[in-house]
Structure 1
Amino acid sequence: MNVPSSAERWRSAMLYAWVSAGSVVGGLTRYLVGLALDTGPGFPFATLFINATGSLIIGFYATLTGPDGRMLARPEHRQFVMTGFCGGYTTFSAFSLETFRLFHGGMKYIALAYVASSVVCWLVSVWLGHIMASRYNRLKRS
């Protein structure tokens, strides 16, 4: 059995710390954005906005810091943003609960509109993030 060295254990612990810190920042950001955009009962615009902007962020950052990206990012920084922040910021469990509540409350057409608009927004947002970072990557480096 191969026992990891103390340096490898330290790197693993630090990676967990980066992901945890990103999750805290993302979760707090989600909470504050949710408060700022709360529209009350009905269509959950705040969650739609949060998931769309989270998709934009992850699409942009993944492309910007990917193998062909303009910016070199350390693995722990990518994990902080993509796994930690975006994971803590986006809220698919809330999306599921809100959809269930809309259906259960007899608002099935609003629930269906929410699901459809959410999926479209998320996919368009991640695509836009990718396009934005791809264009930025092609700019002449200074």
Structure 2
Amino acid sequence: MNILAVGLGGFIGAASRYYISTLVNKVNISSFPVATLIINVIGSFLIGLLTQLLMGLCPENKKLQLFLTTGILGGFTTFSTFSLETVNIFQEGKVVFGVANIIFSIAFCLTGVVLGKMLAKAIVSI
């Protein structure tokens, strides 16, 4: 059952990632990978929020945790895509974009996790 929960969640996450990437890339006019950055920040925020909420509200429900975090958010976030895009940016000689992508991704995604956890703690304590 755990594998099914992760697999089902992975499908939802990957389909969501594709949909959001398509929308963002329609308006992104630069070669900077904005869609991947946005998806990773959203995913980081959500994983912080959900892990904290699940810990406080239903710590025994491991299948739900697997479905939401490993499944949906694992399929949704795009670290492998981030890595490939960053290497490609450097190989194209766009060093400033490459460095900016690394800095923004790390800073914003870590901030997303912290903010998600803080929001979850505030929700649970209400």
Higher relative contact order (CA 8 A, sep 6+): 2
Runs of 4 or more consecutive aligned structure 1 residues displaced over 6 Å after TM superposition: none
Matched with 1:46 is: 35
Amino acid across the alignment from 1:88: G
Q: Which runs of 5 or more structure 1 residues have no equivalent in the other structure? A: 1-13
> What is the alpha-carbon distance in structure 2 between the residues aligned to residue 41 and residue 16 of structure 1?
39
Matched, 1:24 2:15: no
Give the equivalent residue in structure 2 for 1:8. Answer: none
Q: CA RMSD in A?
A: 1.0
Q: Aligned AA for 2:114?
A: W
How does the TM-score come out when normalised to structure 1? 0.84
Partner Cα separation in structure 2 for residue 115 and residue 42 of structure 1: 15
Which amino acid is the alignment partner of residue 115 of structure 1? I
Structure 1 residue identity aligned to 2:10: S
Q: 1:58 aligns with which of 19, 37, 47?
A: 47
TM-score (norm 2): 0.94
**TM-superposed deviation, 1:15:** 0.8
Unaligned runs of 5+ in 2: none
Q: SS at 1:43's partner residue? A: coil
CA positional deviation for 1:60: 0.2
- d(CA) in 2 for partners of 1:27, 1:103: 26
Relative to its length, the structure with more helix (as a share) is: 2
Percent of aligned pairs with the same residue? 34
Matches of residues 62-73 of structure 1 in structure 2 within 5 Å?
Answer: 62-66=51-55, 69=56, 71-72=57-58
